[in-house]
Amino acid sequence: MKNILLIIFSISILSPAVVLGQASSKKVQAGMTFNAGANFLSPGTTKIQANGVGSLLSIGVTVNAASKSSENLGLSTGLEFDFGKNIYSPNNTTNYTYVDYVEGEVLSSDASGAESLGSYATMQLVSRRVSTTKLSVPLMLLFRTNFIGDFRYFGKFGLRNTFLLSHKITDEGIATTLGIPNSEPIVNDLMSSPGEFFIYNGSVGISAGAEWNFVGSTCLVLEAGYYYGITPFFLDRKDGKKTMYNYGTELTFPPTKNYYSASARQNQLVFKLSILF
């Protein structure tokens, strides 16, 4: 990656066709973008709560296309691979949350119910860290000024469309015996829970930034934006596919398991650094 960036930068510096001010006449700009930011889970149920602020890192390509009628209006899009993390905890103030698991997988109610006694383990869930890899396709209206010297300024408004590619879960909790925590801490890494997350996350956002035409048609762009999630982060699963549960209060053995799905939206604060050609 470093070698590729060095080659691109060297070509732009050494090219004999480089002429200052060239960027202002280009209808289409394309290049690489690097993003860093924060994820904010907004729970939609009292059963879970966000545990701090998550993180976002991404890399990809970005394209700005000016309108035929005006260079001040345009469309901004691209492809970005997002690597995100979120941490949430069950709200254990009223009732503890439990999960059943085998090595490498969190079990749904159907799977744990079909297992023979003693073939899986149970933990009282304390916190869950979710690591995701997603493909994002922003689709933003672009409003920008003319160049003032080597700089111009812009604003964007539109949608950030994100598609889930893969996920991993790390659960921290306390081992249980017959539904009673035994004080043994448990950490399960690299767990999967198929169907736990909504495959599409859409958000509407606004951003602003500045573009510096530092040589020829090559520009350095710094941008900050906030995106408000409009689709669920988690999937509201069917009863047989839910994985988290509370024990019922009835005096029965084994105790009744009341399963539920996590519910939340994800908002994002994103800082972008792009190189456009």
CA dihedral in degrees (38, 44, 48, 49; nearest 10)? 40
pLDDT tens digits for the chain (277 residues)? 444 444 334 434 433 333 344 677 788 999 999 999 999 999 998 999 999 999 999 999 999 999 988 889 999 999 999 999 999 999 877 788 999 888 888 888 887 665 544 578 889 999 999 999 999 999 999 999 999 999 999 999 999 999 999 999 999 999 987 667 787 898 988 788 877 899 999 999 999 999 999 998 899 999 999 999 999 999 887 888 888 998 877 766 677 888 999 999 999 999 999 999 9
Helix (H, G, I), strand (E, B) or coil at 141: strand
Reading the block at residue 239, the tokens are: 């009863």
- Spatial CB neighbours of 127, under 8 Å, sequence gap ≥ 6: 51, 87, 88, 89, 171, 172, 173
Give the Cα separation of 129 and 87 in Å (integer): 4
Q: Is residue 261 within 8 Å of residue 236, measured between CB atoms?
A: yes
| Preceding omega of 232 cis (within 30 degrees of 0) | no
